[in-house]
Amino acid sequence: MGIFQWLNDQLLKMQWLSDLVAVLVRDVFGLDLASRVGASIHFFIYDVIKIFILLSVLIFSISYVQSFFPPERTKKILGRFDGITANILAALLGTITPFCSCSSIPLFIGFTGSGLPLGVTFSFLISSPLVDLASIILLASIFNWKIAIAYVVVGLILAVVGGTFIGKAHMEDQVESFVFGSPTIELEEAELTRRDRVNYAVDQVKEVVQKVWLYVLLGVGIGAAIHNWIPESVITALLGQDKWYSVLVATFVGVPMYADIFGTLPISEALVAKGVGLGTVLSFMMGVTALSLPSMVMLKQVVKPKLLGLFFGIVAVGIIIIGYVFNFLGPIFM
């Protein structure tokens, strides 16, 4: 085994943790790991601890980096560019911002109100909940690096293409008037010390964990149930790779939900293990994170129905296309 594979197994997949939990379940709880109950408890304890460890480390690291890019600085950076370059940069900057669409909308208001092009701000709005730096590591910890990198790449492409289409539609009149009337105050950027950045990163870890802990527990619980209690035949009958409609179902099943990638990953892991296509699973994850009903309700407060419908349509079509492409190319990544 190469050193990279060993590091991947021990640091990301945390094989050592899986072994410890196996000892706990078998020797302390007295359960057979091959039984449904034993396997479910192992899955739940192992995944919950692993996700929270990775979550804390990654959010601390990302937040430390994010402290160098406050909103005012981000607006100044984006304001220097135009065209497709600005869309690409906005999508990339979206990867180091808050972790759900609802928390991205206040920044969207600030960016639009300060005069940034509408298409650029939508590239940011699509990218921010859909793709973040933590998603690369978390996806790699559950699947592999090829899937993790591919997910991030297609997410960024969707953000750039979606923002570009919205920009070309010239629908500035579909933004609520109060957004453009929002006062913008130019403040000098405070020079943060290293301690300030560390404190900020610690606060972000606490805040994000408080927001997502319930979704992680629910996601892992659902994943454990799918993995150990629902027969593979039932799953594949609805979402099997041979079902042409599986991507459509997965995309729109995710819309009523409100979670983030941390809560959807355990479910996705279990679905893939049951024979669901990779593209179908990615469509589910993207539908939950980018098109959730609560985020649409919040966005409805700042844009009018025509623009909201265009945004939803572009992102939904993009997710569906990505799903079918990955189902077709799935063997390459697994």
- pLDDT at position 56 is 87
C-alpha 97/C-alpha 123 separation (Å) is 13
Does residue 298 fall inside a structural domain? no
Least confident of 42-51, 65-74, 159-168, 205-214: 65-74
Total domains present in the chain: 1
Q: Is the pLDDT of residue 116 over 90?
A: no
C-alpha 139/C-alpha 152 separation (Å) is 10
- pLDDT at position 24 is 95
Least confident of 7-11, 16-20, 165-169: 7-11
Q: What are the E-state strand segments in the chain?
A: none
What confidence tier does 182 reach under pLDDT thresholds 50, 70, 90? low
> Are residues 93 and 252 in contact, defined by beta-carbon separation less than 8 angstroms?
no
pTM here? 0.79
**Average pLDDT for residues 185-203, to the nearest whole number?**
75
Widest Cα–Cα separation across the chain: 65
Q: Is the pLDDT of residue 160 over 80?
A: yes
Does residue 180 fall inside a structural domain? no
Q: Is the pLDDT of residue 334 over 90?
A: no
| pLDDT > 90 in the chain, percent | 24
Q: Identify residue 157 by its one-letter amino acid code.
A: I
How does DSSP assign 222-289, residue by residue? HHHHHHHTS-HHHHHHHHBTT-TTHHHHHHHHSTT----HHHHHHHHHHHHHTTB-HHHHHHHHHHHH
**Average pLDDT for residues 108-133, to the nearest whole number?**
82
Does residue 118 fall inside a structural domain? no
Q: Is the pLDDT of residue 187 over 60?
A: no
Average predicted confidence (pLDDT) for the chain: 83
**Average pLDDT for residues 85-111, to the nearest whole number?**
74
Distances (CA, A) of 173 to 78, 84, 96: 22, 22, 29
> Are residues 209 and 201 in contact, defined by beta-carbon separation less than 8 angstroms?
no
CA 56 to chain centre: 16
Does residue 15 fall inside a structural domain? yes
CA angle 150, 153, 159 (to 5 degrees): 140
Does residue 170 fall inside a structural domain? no
Exposure on the CB side of residue 157, measured as CA atoms within 13 A: 10
**Average pLDDT for residues 196-203, to the nearest whole number?**
89
Identify the residue whose tokens are 């290293």.
194
- pLDDT at position 83 is 83
What confidence tier does 275 reach under pLDDT thresholds 50, 70, 90? confident
C-alpha 334/C-alpha 330 separation (Å) is 6
**Average pLDDT for residues 238-250, to the nearest whole number?**
84
Who has greater pLDDT, 262 or 23? Answer: 23
Domain that holds residue 7: 1-69+190-224
Does residue 218 fall inside a structural domain? yes
What confidence tier does 103 reach under pLDDT thresholds 50, 70, 90? low
Q: Identify residue 76 by its one-letter amino acid code.
A: K
Does residue 52 fall inside a structural domain? yes
Does residue 283 fall inside a structural domain? no
Over residues 38-96, the pLDDT tens digits come to 999 999 999 999 888 988 888 888 778 777 766 667 777 777 777 889 899 888 887 77
